[in-house]
Amino acid sequence: MSQPDLAYRLIDSVGPPSYCDPSIYPVARPDAPPDAPEAVAKLRADNPLEFAAIVRHERLNPAGLSANDDERILQQDRELAGLSLTPDGPRYRFRYQLVGPRSDEVSGTIDQQGAITVESRVLAHPHICPICLAQWAGIATPSGELPVSKVHSGTVVWTLDAAGNRVAAPVLNVGSTRTPAGHQIVHLQLADGRSVDVSPRHPLADGRRVADLAPGDPLDGTVIASAERRPYAGTATWDLLPAGPTHVYWADGIPLGSTLGS
């Protein structure tokens, strides 16, 4: 069986993967999405085994694809990309998180004939798509700056109270997620020298999204100097949820909102 066929065996037997859809989440792309028939034709040419597995699984006629069929194929392509198989001798290893409502993480092996061995199935934290901070961002705390990857529930950080005063409060929740291939972040540079690396859809303290910022826009007493998208070399992005009414925190000196909710 081909790798895409094996992935479908897992999806049908164990469950579909929870994944971050690159058509929604910020893996930088052109303003207009690619033409669906063109994207399907490219998939068909570049990865014929996957294309064949998709049309078999979805019971489509490859000789007469409709517009809905094209969208379905591209959605299946994104789902299959969320389930990676790692060669291990005559078999493949898998480890992925299932679509909820119970967000189990499953791991095990599948051989080339499709025989599945589930070695572990444990409850995992809900899957969070990467709209968060680069793993090297520093978080402001009363004790000094702390790398976001070292922050945990109970860590005391600076936040804003309802009156706009800077106060100390414990972190209620910390989330991180592995980033998909091709993920890009925004290097946000302020005119006063402060800068932070953050995913495009991350909110500022005032609710604006980083992706919507342009040079000259006001931010925290100064203006944006540049907001440049760059390839992300990290393996995960991070976010935190401070206690209090605003959930604001400072990353590399810049006030941000949280994506984690209350």
Query: In this structure, what token pair is assigned to residue 199?
Result: 């995913």
Cis omega (within 30 of 0) on the bond before 101?
yes
pLDDT at 132 over 90: no
Give me the pLDDT at residue 75, please: 92
What CATH number is given for 133-256 in this structure? 2.170.16.10
pLDDT exceeds cutoff 90 at 21: no
pLDDT at 40: 95
84 against 253, higher pLDDT:
253
The pLDDT value given to residue 126: 61
Identity of residue 218:
P
Q: Within a 10 A sphere around the Cβ of 33, how many other Cβ atoms?
A: 10
* Domain boundary assignment for the chain: 3-123, 133-256
With tokens 């390839």, the residue in question is 231
Residue 128 confidence class, pLDDT cut points 50, 70, 90: low
In the chain, pLDDT over 70 holds for what percent of residues?
A: 90
Q: State residue 26 phi and psi, 5-degree precision.
A: -80, 75
Model confidence pTM above 0.75: no
Please give the mean pLDDT across all residues of the chain.
Answer: 89
pLDDT of residue 34: 57
Q: Render pLDDT for 67-92 as a digit per residue (tens, 0 to 9).
A: 999 999 999 998 998 898 999 999 99
Q: Whole-angstrom Cα distance, residue 133 to residue 136?
A: 8
